[in-house]
Amino acid sequence: MINSIKKWVRRTWATLLGLGFLTFFIVVVLYPRIVHTIQPGHVGVIWYRFFDGTDLSSEGVVPEGISVIFPWDRLYIYDARLRSVSIEVEGLSSDGLKVSVNFVARYTIAADKVGYLHKSIGPDYEETLLKPQLRELALSYLSKNQASDLYSDRRSRVQKSIEAQFSESMKGVASNTDFMGYYVKTEDVLMAHVRLPTFVARAIEEKEKVRHINESYEFRLMLEDKERRRKRLEAEGIRSFQEIIAPGITESYLRWRGIQATLELSKSNNTKVVIIGDKDGLPIILNTEDKNNILSPRPGGGDNSVVDGAGKMTEPFQGGEPFQIEVENSKTTPSQALETEEMMEKPTSKLDFIRPAQEKPTTRSDSIKPMQEKTKKENKNDTSDSFLDKYKIKIN
């Protein structure tokens, strides 16, 4: 048995080798023409070489997956998913402006009628059907409408109008078939970009700028009106407050508040200058009794003389500056007083600063002292000396 097989192989080895080469050729060369893979979202249409050509029936549409056909037939694959085609048109509007618009049309093919699409138009239907039709509709609409329709609130109306016309134009395009339906189902038509002339774009920007400025001024006026009403209400509240508390504000109350303010000033650790007003020893800002006691410049005087409430001259100022009264700080240490003395010994005007109590008066103080005694005799009823002695106030 084995010997007979060996003899048969020796006689037919050439034939077997030829069959092997033929099988390899069929598998390698003809496999792509026999076995086809249709990707997701795609459909196929078969063209039969010996059986009436393109299969136009809905049953002849090949779904996605693996499909096996004869090597002499052809399988054409179409993308049935949502697709888009874009064009840019440039033309004149009805008002004579040159505008450039980019339109984008989104669509899907009629998958059950792909046989008619393949026979009437072919795989290159975008360049053959969609783009020329969309361009013609866009130019026609631009020539009948103004450029302002492309960027104003009427833009959606432009898109809807072109979309309706474009969808209707996809019906019954070819004449070599009796199919009168839609080859392509239009989803929408959008304006992706609008380019206007430079001077028109600049004019629109200026217009919007002025409009926003006007709105800002209106807003400011509204704020000012509210502020006016707020201030009026505030003034009414202050007036009501004053009417309520006015009966309770007496001279004794104001004097007590002045004493409290003076005590608070004396408690401060910082150097302070308090200008005393009337005989009660109150600060001048709280003097509520006799306004004539306030020192004032001599009427019509050309010098810097100072007069009291009775109109009598007390002392001419050589340096043009008023007296400086310093309240001694009881908490100041001797070292701090010495440092203060060294700083104050450098005169800043023709009147020297006040020296500490343990230092002898300067020559200038001796010259002023008789004038001070004369003033005390003329103002016997003035009790301010007791206040000065009480709070350790010195005058140079």
Identify whether residues 360 and 267 lie together within a single domain. Answer: yes
Q: What is the pTM of this model?
A: 0.48
* Domains held by the chain: number: 4
Residue 170 domain flag: yes
Q: Please name the helix (run of DSSP H) or strand (run of DSSP E) that holds residue 91, with its range, or none.
A: strand 83-92
Identify whether residues 320 and 277 lie together within a single domain. Answer: yes
44 and 78 Cβ atoms separated by less than 8 Å = yes
Residue 106 domain boundaries = 82-196
Looking up tokens 């048995």 gives: 1
Identify whether residues 376 and 332 lie together within a single domain. Answer: yes
Looking up tokens 């704020």 gives: 223
**Going by C-beta distance under 8 Å and a sequence separation of 6 or more, which residues neighbour residue 350?**
318, 319, 321
* pLDDT of amino acid 362: 47
Identify whether residues 257 and 374 lie together within a single domain. Answer: yes
Residue 388 domain flag: yes
Residue 178 domain flag: yes
The percent helix, strand, coil of the chain (3-state, each to 5) is 50, 20, 30
Domain boundary pick from 21, 51, 78: 78
What number of helices (H) and strands (E) belong to the chain?
Answer: 10, 13
Residue 2 domain flag: no
Identify whether residues 317 and 332 lie together within a single domain. Answer: yes
Identify whether residues 236 and 287 lie together within a single domain. Answer: no
Identify whether residues 324 and 352 lie together within a single domain. Answer: yes
Identify whether residues 49 and 122 lie together within a single domain. Answer: no
Q: Cα–Cα distance between 194 and 100 in angstroms, integer?
A: 6
**CA R_g for the chain:** 55
Interval 222-265: pLDDT, tens: 999 999 999 999 999 999 988 888 887 777 877 888 788 778 87
* φ, ψ dihedrals at 103, nearest 5°: -105, 145
CB atoms within 10 A of CB 249: 11
Identify whether residues 74 and 86 lie together within a single domain. Answer: no
* pLDDT of amino acid 121: 86
76 and 123 Cβ atoms separated by less than 8 Å = yes
Pick the closest to residue 109 from 129, 76, 83 (CA basis). Answer: 83
* pLDDT of amino acid 79: 92
Q: Cα–Cα distance between 52 and 191 in angstroms, integer?
A: 44
Query: Which residue stretches of the chain have pLDDT < 70?
Result: 1, 9, 174-175, 271-396
